[in-house]
């Protein structure tokens, strides 16, 4: 009787290693190389940012020194009336915006969401030659606005742009007052007329409460 031998028995086959030492060494080498490349790039990027920061610092120092020189030179001669008016205009403009920010952050307004949208609308509708000096909030949606303008015709244009804002829907400003400020004494003793007009804008409710 013949006997058959199974030569394909998996137990008799040589077992193959899935991860040999060489394969693992190559993988670790690739990981190490990738890490070195990453850190090299990070060092390069950091070095570039550091150089940009140093350059910005040098530019700031140079600009500051130049500003100090100009300020010292300007102090040696009388400031022009136009420059003084421009400085006053910018200070009033920044002061008005800061008052708006302080009012919103203080939480003193009961309807913060509604008022914040209203003041955002005012901030977006900045008109060249027109700056606001005060906001008087008397109730939800009832306000009085005071400001100055280099030209009287710029005020209606500012109001028209303001009414296009979504937050201004249903708001009606029915009173507009415009006047020339009191002349300020000049260096020669003669009164000098300011180069702007003052205006007050409010609705009936706000006007009655002022």
Range among 43-52, 56-65, 145-154 rated most confident: 145-154
- Edge-to-edge order in the sheet of strand 130-139: 130-139, 142-149, 197-202, 175-179
Q: Are 181 and 194 in contact (CB under 8 A)?
A: yes
Mean pLDDT (whole number) for 120-140: 77
**51 or 1, higher pLDDT:** 51
pLDDT tens-digit map of 86-117: 777 777 767 666 665 565 555 554 455 556 67
pLDDT digits (tens, 9 = 90+) for 153-207: 998 888 888 888 887 777 777 788 888 888 776 666 677 777 889 998 877 554 4
- Report the range out of 11-15, 23-27, 87-91, 179-183 with the highest average pLDDT: 179-183
Q: What is the pTM of this model?
A: 0.42
Out of 24-28, 139-143, 151-155, least confident range? 139-143
Sequence-separated (6 or more) residues with CB below 8 Å from residue 158 = 125, 127, 130, 149
Across residues 11-40, what is the average pLDDT? 67
């Amino acid at each position: 009787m013949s006997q058959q031998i199974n030569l394909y028995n998996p137990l008799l086959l040589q077992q193959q290693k899935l991860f040999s030492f060489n394969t693992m060494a190559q993988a670790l080498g690739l990981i190490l190389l990738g890490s070195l490349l990453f850190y090299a790039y990070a060092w390069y990027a950091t070095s570039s940012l550091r150089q940009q920061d140093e350059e910005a610092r040098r530019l700031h120092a140079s600009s500051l020194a130049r500003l100090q020189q100009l300020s010292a030179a300007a102090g040696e001669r009388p400031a022009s009336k136009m420059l003084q008016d421009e400085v006053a205009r910018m200070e009033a403009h920044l002061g008005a915006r800061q008052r708006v920010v302080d009012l919103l952050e203080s939480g003193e307004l009961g309807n913060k969401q509604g008022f914040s949208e209203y003041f955002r609308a005012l901030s977006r509708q900045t008109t060249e030659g027109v700056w606001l000096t005060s906001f008087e909030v008397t109730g939800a949606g009832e306000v009085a606005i005071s400001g100055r303008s280099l030209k009287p015709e710029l005020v209606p244009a500012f109001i028209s742009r303001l009414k296009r804002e979504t937050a201004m829907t249903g708001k009606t400003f029915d009173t507009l007052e415009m006047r020339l400020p009191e002349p300020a004494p000049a260096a020669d003793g003669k009164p000098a007329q300011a180069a702007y007009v003052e205006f007050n804008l409010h609705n009936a409710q706000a006007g009655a409460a002022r």
